[in-house]
Structure 1
């Protein structure tokens, strides 16, 4: 019996509702002000729920459209409110469930919580981390949906990292650090980040910086009147802008906001924007991340307690109970409980057909010791590039590496050592050019002093695009680490995989199988461009892979690329096995909830068309969408459920073939299950066998001797898409396609 972070709706309204759209003239963007302007007319409107745009009521309003007038408190301006009927709603309608969610958001407003972006946060319960000028605001995410047999509310604990500095302070810091190039430095620091504007509690993504405009610049209102930004903020929000020389920030409105009448570009003033979230620089700061994790990594027992406290707040607040009663809604005060299953543990298959049992934590690191790897690649020549000053450490580490590889039956000869004078990027590139012009090593190991991204990218570009050579980049601190033997073993496994070997597999009871993983990552160097990576298995043991990457700027291109790349993978499989696979399993990652219908209509259909062309008759195939980012949490007696836990009822969707799987073991915090949505299935496997097959796939990621959150093929695709999106920004050399060079 498991618990989950869901509360059941015990009773709910099932009468007809009317949905209206509410427009304000002149436009008012602050939701709180819009609600206040409408609240004045509650006698006319009677019982209603309003989210800032949509109004729901059990009474038909007359006349339609209904026009009302209110006066804005801040400036006494007369506002015209137009209420126009959109549709009638009946129980079971998607918008009916939306009504429950809007009602719930209204209830959260009664808890004196602050709306930041789309979620509510408790500013009074904030946790200050003064050493790093950060605040952590605890909050809740709620979502009400129709599940298998009940309407359930998912409630999840979340945290918002609030920085105590403004964008103007960041600007001053950039100009102090780089007086000659401060504009570029500032743009790199701010573009892409999310800021919070206190005057309307909205969050915006910064897309550009306009250095030609100032707060003293003028713009045109909808009334065609011209006004300076300083006067606008004083008149509308009574805010005095102090620095008149600062440039302005540009945030591009989302398509739905433009449809709602918002201008395409939203102009923001740095002084009035607070920074939110954490930068890559902060992520690299181990002590800062540890300080945050102390509060954000919540154990199952603590999470259950916090959810029960939240439920108690809802049950004991009179205003909330009055609202719920008015709409005949009653929430259960306790978390739901339901039965689940745990699959039996797998056996790992090593070299020479030796099998080993896995422990309850799904980790077989100890089982690897003194056991032969499944496939040992033949390594003849390899080179180590290092700085002269670290020669002693490098020699010691290479001896440890050769020794640990020998225990895995992977023969590593002594490498050729190549010394460089300093750690400049140019020194590494020059060394790589010289090495590759003289000889053709199978793999080059670069020992680097730290994790500098630009140096890493330069090495990978040189060896993945210009020349096709596998590389292993090792940070110097690993050479002197306490667990050198363990690090050396992991590096030996990686190097073996990068040149065609494989460390282990699991029993695959079906023959003629091809498993494909797919994921998408954004290109950090070009806005709007993404890279889709596909990785497909080529052998029965699922240990050899073919990979390919393609860039795209929209869903249409992506759908087309996936079907073309699957065709390439099938040709490669036929070359490798002299036959085509009889069953194809496609695990598709990188799909948001809203994109699922598009993926189903476009991608699945295009793949089916391509397969029919190749096979003449559509082969057995399953197409599964993998979702990692979930608010669902599962608990077993105040602890995390064990790896292999399957939930395929109660909290799943009634109109889908879906299931939740906990495949990994988590020692800190609460485990997050992965959701699998089987969108097309002619594989001939029963749901129980499909679940078991999926669980087997999570054992095959060679960078970790344990199970991972998603099928290994998805993890490989993510690793490849991430490498290309972050470092290469171009398609890799085709001659690397048959190797796991991106591990």
Structure 2
């Protein structure tokens, strides 16, 4: 039966551990979805599969009006169209042939629309899948896609900005720095559950360019108070920055009056200004752009000092005749201030978010939606109520000399008062580099004293409390500075250096990145960076957090779970992996993607080894997983003297559409890695995909079932109703809420040779979330995956060259092979310590 249903493990049982609570989810039950057939048609407009959805929808609207005059209205058969190539109806269209061509006139221009029937979908097949009586066929995927398009049809006709499953409206927006603004929107998608279909509705937000006059946007992008500050002209650096942000932005002309606005895309900016840019008209007369606009449009330019904009080949215009068209998405990476402001806008307490979701549900007008009525789709107007469970908090152990050394935390968090780390290191060979001139020596001395006292009280023994200090220029030769500090650390106590502590002037990325590149790839020595603001304050709590990081970087560990809490790890040699692939920011098709894999090296799952690889841009599969797994298995053997007989592999960053690829490619790479070490070596593998990028949220119903942030408590697990109809998956909210609405993590098992029960995998995963090495609270993501995130982010800094400067020009001038070669490998001395913490 399992072969017939799915390649993946089936859910063998429901979990029963923990305390039962009733919660709401932002899933709305689809009470019915019609039992007839859905007809699927392929649409091609103007012979091109890639024409833009906005144009396609106009042509489609023209086709609807045209077909309306025929025997049967398209609207009466509920035709829905996705704006690209798929169209669905609940009654067949009357076509003359299998493939029919229509000519549609839109504003005097003829468009060709070709329509061809491709399939008929029996909706009963979908119900069989939901009832565990049939597997997930391409037909069922098409049926779900058709329903998705049915619920999207109305918003796509009503709202200005629609991207995929979300639509946005400028009614509720907030300005961000840098000429952009965040709009609130709503997300909706149809999802299968156990025996039923659900509509998942959520609040979403995305960033748009601010619309209006282009010169105003320019001042905001460049962070100036007014255009007057640019009267002396633009530096090349500013112009490059502008061009990077404005390229391909849609603008419209404003100098010919309201009814004669033409739209263009910005191709580039030229260094020359309108009063210095000349051209010749057909009659041989020479003009500057400023003169031309004065003469032809009676327009005296207010900002002739701004560079000209190229809107067509050899067509240069002044900036002030252009307005930015509303509703254009900003796809570049946000800076720190923009990100902070965006978080403030999107961070909503659970009760506020659930009210907003209910508002979004009303905006979608499912009840009045004629398309859904034609297809027999009816959605229940209240959020779905689910039976969830709250798993018991695990016990944690610190060093025996701690007060109350083994204890169960309350509400997912605890503090280090009177606690000593489980295994502290001895710190004797270290030095301090001060990259800021704003700190008097007594202030630094006081901070180092406070740091040493906190380290010792927390269980890290500092034998040299007067480390050598170096004052350094943050713009100087960082590599030489760190090499000198390395030598000073070693010479002071005549032993191998362990750590360089760097005091930085602020949050600037460039200096931090260069320090990490040199320490990780050249010196092979951990560094700990501290901002000068913390040195001034010298707070014990801050020093304790630094201590947790330093202890782990030097090979110690902070906290562990007693053996009886983690039987899967303690009963037999077991290795836990965490893996992630991170990609460069959207629109960057040059920089490589980075694969990071971490793996435990002991029976407690607390110390991890590290491996990273740079690979081709946006390749989701981990290309050298075999090599990375091999390295980790060797590290485990060196650390414990045993070969793992069980592998638990948590893989992040994989969508449902990629499960088959992971199953086929990555799991076989793990098996090959084992066999390459010894032909007969076949540890049992459990492979779990970890997903954070989803829109499922949980809301407690009773105040007594909520934590102090109003969220469901840490340990809330859901494996009923809204999960897969029969595969082994669950949602786990493993952390206590801090602000906003918590996002549970979705775990989906792709292979399970270790035969986990629901309870055993859910409880192990939850307990591991309490031993994340740099926090005194449970975290939202299983730690090996969290470490893989940190590791991948760190590897971005290992690129040689001017990568972190404002211009960032180097990445665009290199091809893919040069890009890959520009990343330095991590010094092998660091592979078995958690240097990236």
Q: Deviations over 1:536-583 (max 9, x none)?
A: 111112232211111111688954411221111111211222220121
Matches within 5 A, 1:353-502: 355-365=405-415, 368-386=416-434, 387=436, 389-390=438-439, 391-412=441-462, 413-420=464-471, 422-426=473-477, 428-437=478-487, 439=490, 440-481=496-537, 484-502=539-557
Select 2:45's aligned residue among 12, 19, 24.
Answer: 24
Select 1:351's aligned residue among 399, 422, 440.
Answer: 399
Describe the shift of the 1:247–1:195 C-alpha distance in structure 2 as closer, same or farther (beyond 3 A): closer
Larger radius of gyration: 2
Instruction: Give the secondary-structure state (helix, strand or coil) at the position aligned to 1:653.
Output: coil
Select 2:62's aligned residue among 30, 34, 37.
Answer: 37
How far 1:126 moved relative to its partner? 2.4
Q: Quote the residue 1:647 is aligned against.
A: 718
Q: Quote the residue 1:516 is aligned against.
A: 577
Describe the shift of the 1:272–1:99 C-alpha distance in structure 2 as closer, same or farther (beyond 3 A): same
State the number of aligned residues. Answer: 680
How far 1:496 moved relative to its partner? 1.1
**Residue pair 2:176, 2:341 contacting (<8 A) in 1 also:** no
How far 1:279 moved relative to its partner? 6.6
**Residue pair 2:521, 2:826 contacting (<8 A) in 1 also:** yes
- Between the aligned partners of 2:632 and 2:391, the Cα distance in structure 1 is 31
Matches within 5 A, 1:533-552: 533-552=596-615
Matches within 5 A, 1:190-339: 245-247=308-310, 276-277=329-330, 283-285=335-337, 291-315=341-365, 318=368, 320=369, 322-339=370-387
Q: Deviations over 1:156-193 (max 9, x none)?
A: 111223342679556676687861444543466568xx
**Residue pair 1:197, 1:273 contacting (<8 A) in 2 also:** no
- Between the aligned partners of 1:397 and 1:602, the Cα distance in structure 2 is 51
Instruction: Give the secondary-structure state (helix, strand or coil) at the position aligned to 2:361.
Output: helix
Q: Deviations over 1:131-159 (max 9, x none)?
A: 87554322111000221110100001112
Instruction: Give the secondary-structure state (helix, strand or coil) at the position aligned to 1:651.
Output: coil
Describe the shift of the 1:317–1:516 C-alpha distance in structure 2 as closer, same or farther (beyond 3 A): closer
Describe the shift of the 1:557–1:127 C-alpha distance in structure 2 as closer, same or farther (beyond 3 A): closer
2:203 aligned with 1:139: no
How far 1:348 moved relative to its partner? 1.1
- Between the aligned partners of 2:420 and 2:780, the Cα distance in structure 1 is 26
**Residue pair 2:581, 2:622 contacting (<8 A) in 1 also:** no
How far 1:377 moved relative to its partner? 1.2
- Between the aligned partners of 1:184 and 1:422, the Cα distance in structure 2 is 28
Answer with 733-742 or 133-142: which moved more.
133-142
- Between the aligned partners of 1:196 and 1:542, the Cα distance in structure 2 is 52
**Residue pair 2:209, 2:329 contacting (<8 A) in 1 also:** yes
Select 1:155's aligned residue among 179, 184, 201.
Answer: 201
Q: Quote the residue 1:68 is aligned against.
A: 102
**Residue pair 2:714, 2:735 contacting (<8 A) in 1 also:** yes
- Between the aligned partners of 1:595 and 1:545, the Cα distance in structure 2 is 27
How far 1:495 moved relative to its partner? 0.9
**Residue pair 2:422, 2:560 contacting (<8 A) in 1 also:** yes
Instruction: Give the secondary-structure state (helix, strand or coil) at the position aligned to 2:520.
Output: helix
2:28 aligned with 1:7: yes
How far 1:597 moved relative to its partner? 1.8
Describe the shift of the 1:528–1:416 C-alpha distance in structure 2 as closer, same or farther (beyond 3 A): closer
* Structure 1 unpaired stretches of 5+: 200-205, 217-241, 251-268
2:605 aligned with 1:576: no
How far 1:245 moved relative to its partner? 3.6
Describe the shift of the 1:610–1:278 C-alpha distance in structure 2 as closer, same or farther (beyond 3 A): closer
Matches within 5 A, 1:609-648: 609-614=672-677, 616-637=680-701, 639-648=710-719
Q: Quote the residue 1:236 is aligned against.
A: none
Q: Quote the residue 2:736 is aligned against.
A: 665
Aligned alpha-carbon RMSD (Å): 3.3
Q: Deviations over 1:503-551 (max 9, x none)?
A: 1111332321211111122357982511111111111122322111111
* Structure 2 unpaired stretches of 5+: 1-21, 127-139, 223-229, 254-264, 278-303, 314-321, 491-495, 703-709, 800-822
How far 1:494 moved relative to its partner? 0.9
- Between the aligned partners of 2:409 and 2:426, the Cα distance in structure 1 is 32
Q: Quote the residue 1:89 is aligned against.
A: 121
- Between the aligned partners of 1:608 and 1:207, the Cα distance in structure 2 is 51
Instruction: Give the secondary-structure state (helix, strand or coil) at the position aligned to 1:141.
Output: strand
Q: Quote the residue 1:734 is aligned against.
A: 828
Answer with 82-91 or 114-123: which moved more.
114-123
Select 2:630's aligned residue among 567, 581, 587.
Answer: 567
Select 2:89's aligned residue among 57, 60, 77.
Answer: 57
- Between the aligned partners of 1:526 and 1:18, the Cα distance in structure 2 is 38
Instruction: Give the secondary-structure state (helix, strand or coil) at the position aligned to 2:664.
Output: helix
Describe the shift of the 1:118–1:523 C-alpha distance in structure 2 as closer, same or farther (beyond 3 A): closer
**Residue pair 2:239, 2:271 contacting (<8 A) in 1 also:** no
**Residue pair 1:397, 1:479 contacting (<8 A) in 2 also:** yes
- Between the aligned partners of 1:613 and 1:56, the Cα distance in structure 2 is 51
Describe the shift of the 1:124–1:442 C-alpha distance in structure 2 as closer, same or farther (beyond 3 A): closer
Describe the shift of the 1:423–1:551 C-alpha distance in structure 2 as closer, same or farther (beyond 3 A): closer
Q: Deviations over 1:658-712 (max 9, x none)?
A: 1110011113111100001110111233121011111122122112111111111
- Between the aligned partners of 1:399 and 1:190, the Cα distance in structure 2 is 51
**Residue pair 1:560, 1:606 contacting (<8 A) in 2 also:** no
**Residue pair 2:625, 2:666 contacting (<8 A) in 1 also:** yes
How far 1:122 moved relative to its partner? 4.8
Instruction: Give the secondary-structure state (helix, strand or coil) at the position aligned to 1:715.
Output: helix
How far 1:737 moved relative to its partner? 0.3
- Between the aligned partners of 1:279 and 1:581, the Cα distance in structure 2 is 43
**Residue pair 1:65, 1:83 contacting (<8 A) in 2 also:** yes
Answer with 704-713 or 603-612: which moved more.
603-612
2:135 aligned with 1:80: no
Q: Quote the residue 1:682 is aligned against.
A: 753
Instruction: Give the secondary-structure state (helix, strand or coil) at the position aligned to 1:478.
Output: helix
Q: Quote the residue 1:126 is aligned against.
A: 172
2:147 aligned with 1:100: yes
Structure with the bigger RCO (C-alpha within 8 Å, sep 6+) is 2
Q: Deviations over 1:90-122 (max 9, x none)?
A: 222211111111110113246x32234335545
Q: Deviations over 1:253-298 (max 9, x none)?
A: xxxxxxxxxxxxxxxx995587645976x6423xx65654443111
Answer with 417-426 or 690-699: which moved more.
417-426
**Residue pair 1:22, 1:81 contacting (<8 A) in 2 also:** yes
- Between the aligned partners of 1:72 and 1:557, the Cα distance in structure 2 is 41
